[in-house]
Amino acid sequence: MTLDERTIAKLLAAGRIGVGVGLLALPQVIGGRWVGPDGDRPGTRVLARALGVRDLALGAGVMAGLRQDDPVKRWLALGVICDTVDLIATAAEPDIPMRGRLATAVIAGAAALVGVRLVRALD
């Protein structure tokens, strides 16, 4: 079975919404898995929730655009930028635990690559 670009965009957006909701609801758990023991600090929880809103908004923007047949290229491009910055910022910080670095490399890296493909294919 082959997935078309619109279906892949919906799946990417749904994943982004899921991450956003997770960061909002459980910032210390999700953030802790990303940044380690500092994930339970108040400032880290605030930043995790802010990132959660960012991902929720980006995912919702793609979903709404697809439902209304509006262009989603900008939403997807913004997601690529955010995922790339998440990847670079995490890789550049030596005190982030290896599991957080690897998870970010896989998740943000894959999302950025898929996003680039979708930006080229959609609209």
> Taking a C-beta distance cutoff of 8 angstroms, is the pair 27, 52 a contact?
yes
Residue 123's pLDDT is: 61
What residue spans define the domains of the chain? Answer: 5-121
Average pLDDT over residues 8-16: 97
pLDDT digits (tens, 9 = 90+) for 31-87: 788 888 888 899 999 999 999 999 999 999 999 999 999 999 999 999 999 999 999
Assign 3-class secondary structure to 92-115: HCCCCCHHHHHHHHHHHHHHHHHH
pTM score, whole prediction: 0.91
